[in-house]
Amino acid sequence: MNIIVLVKQVPNTTNIKLDPKTGNLIREGLESIMNPDDLHALEAAVKIKDKTGGKVIAVSMGPPQAVDVLTQAMGMGADKAFLLSDRAFSGADTWATSYTLSKGIEKIKDYDLIICGHQAIDGDTAQIGPQVADWLDIAQATYVNDIESVDENEIVVKRRLEHGFERVACKMPVLLTVISELNEPRYPHMGQLISACEQKAPIKVWNAADIGVKTIEVGLEGSNTHVIKTFTPNFKRQNELLEGSNKEVVSDLIDRLKKSDTTIAYRL
């Protein structure tokens, strides 16, 4: 069984710093990492491969330095990797990104299963998976937190929903988007990393011409949505610290709640 895993390189937003003066995001010095959900996607793919045989192929769209996440993917057990990279791909919304990825996948051609992360921690849209599935005209299952069984014809997965979960059987080929509950990703294996680096051209780079897309169909120009402005959220409140003994501050607080325009004001 051949499994394609989509991996994205993202800035590590967990230790994000804001400029104290402007309140803007400081991107300088932010380390780049593999999108956390994608680690789980890779882990799931390698686990399936261990059972069924076949190949795991990692695909990423991004700038040349995104090759790092593909190397990491190979260290985790991917057999091959493709980087879709072209100046023309930059500034893409999810429409153009999913189109580019699906053209790359069509060129790879031989796949039974595509696994991607549920959501990237930078763009945060969770739209790429379903859109790629629709470009390729295959089934999808999102929010996957368990893979129960898989063979050439069918995969059975569990999907986390707001109020519980759902078990779904999907006809292959299918695209899954996975959440972190699914598994515990392995650490990259040093030997595999070294052999990934030593192999001749283990990671192929394809540009727009290679995957057969026109530059006006991709990147910023091929996008339907455009970012008009970005700003730092500003939440203004009084920020009053209540002072006094515990007894005093609590009674002060209750007084304020009694005077507030809320439905519970009357209950107090």
Site for ligand FAD in 13-42 (CB under 6 A): 14, 35, 37-38, 41
The pair of three-digit structure tokens given for residue 95, joined into one six-digit string? 């429409």
Residue 133, burial from CB neighbour count under 10 angstroms (0-12, 13-18, 19+): buried
Least distance in Å: CB of 43 to another protein?
19
Give the footprint of ligand FAD on residues 75-134 (CB under 6 A).
Answer: 92-95, 97, 101, 116-117, 119-129
- For the chain, the maximum distance between any two Cα atoms, rounded to a whole number of angstroms, is 74
Tokens of 99: 């189109």
For ligand FAD, the closer CB: 246 or 263: 246
35 binds, among ligand FAD, another protein, none (CB under 5 to 8 A by kind): ligand FAD
Residue 64: cis peptide before it, omega within 30 degrees of 0: no
Q: Which option in ligand FAD, another protein, none does residue 62 bind, with CB closer than 5 to 8 A by kind?
A: ligand FAD
Query: Interface residues for ligand FAD in 164-183 (CB under 6 A)?
Result: none
Least distance between another protein and beta carbon 168 (Å): 5
- Kindly state the smallest distance separating residue 184's Cβ from another protein, in Å: 13
78 binds, among another protein, ligand FAD, none (CB under 5 to 8 A by kind): none
Taking the complex as a whole, the smallest distance from the CB of residue 99 to another protein amounts, in Å, to: 9
Cα(110)–Cα(1) distance, integer angstroms: 9
**Residue position matching structure tokens 């996948």:** 105
Q: Which residue has the tokens 């991996």?
A: 7
**Chosen from another protein, ligand FAD, none, partner binding at 134 (C-beta under 5 to 8 Å by type):** another protein
CB closer to another protein out of 50 and 134: 134
Nearer to another protein, 50 or 221 (CB): 221
Nearest to 33 by CA among 58, 7, 3: 7
CA distance 1 to 154: 12
Buried b (16+ CB within 10 A) or exposed e, 218-249: bbeebbeeeeeeeeeeeeeeeeeeeeeeeeee
